[in-house]
Amino acid sequence: MSSFDNTKFLLSLLVKHPDQAKYIPRWLMSLSKDYLLKKQLPWVTFYALDFLNTLDFKGKRVFEYGSGASTLYWLKKGASCVSIEHEKQWYDKMNSSFAAIAEVDYRLVEPELLSNGKTIKNPANPDHYSSSSPEFKNYEFSHYVQQIDEFPDEYFDIVMIDGRARPSCIKRSLSKIRVGGFMIVDNTDRDYYLQETIHYLKNFSRQEFFGLVPIATYISKTDIFTRLE
């Protein structure tokens, strides 16, 4: 994106969301090549990242849908991580970084092609294991989502949902989070993620982190749900 486009975006941002001005210097830095990987940061709003950075994750257990810089972040913070990736090219790139690290269980789980005659499913329905992305209209992500079934209830301190079939991931992960643990759902400004799943989260408190996102020319929202007694 050109400097003119960046300037236009920032001016629009300041008019509509003046409270985001404090993040602009960091956002400008994020435009450098491979910023998130080099800084080992999850791709969430700056507001959410500031909150996460106040917490101690040493010795915590993390399960994440979607991998990469976020995986590096959890490891840097002293957590162990089970990370599920659907894209082979990205998995192959990142796997070399994780191969010798005992604290990460890195898994490639590609989507399954729908059998002939099946119709495209509803991505908002957590029982359909589907993605809204056009490239996956003839696929489902049941094996991907169900990876968390291997673990006991209340096993994880954090479940991060920043991959495919997010409504399905939300429903499947609920029982796997310990009391006091977090479910992090990115891009909740996309209403369909919570449209048919928010009622499952009645035993969770909700914090909403709206704002500027690294490397992106849009405003988004990251929600962090804490499991209650």
> Which of 119, 118, 121 lies closest to 141, judged by CA?
121
pLDDT digit string (tens) for 176-226? 999 999 999 999 999 999 999 999 999 999 999 999 999 999 999 999 999
DSSP 15-59: HH-GGGGGGHHHHHHHTSTTHHHHHT--SS-HHHHHHHTTS--TT
Q: Which CATH superfamily is domain 3-227 in?
A: Vaccinia Virus protein VP39 (3.40.50.150)
Q: What is the predicted pLDDT for the residue at 119?
A: 66
| Structural Rg of the chain based on CA atoms | 18
pLDDT digit string (tens) for 152-187? 999 999 999 999 999 999 999 999 999 999 999 999
Amino acid identity, residue 153? D
Q: What is the predicted pLDDT for the residue at 116?
A: 72
pLDDT digit string (tens) for 99-151? 788 899 999 999 999 887 576 689 999 999 999 999 998 999 999 999 999 99
Q: How far apart are CA 92 and CA 157, in angstroms?
A: 27
The whole-model pTM stands at: 0.94
Q: What is the predicted pLDDT for the residue at 1?
A: 55
Res. 2: pLDDT tops 80: no
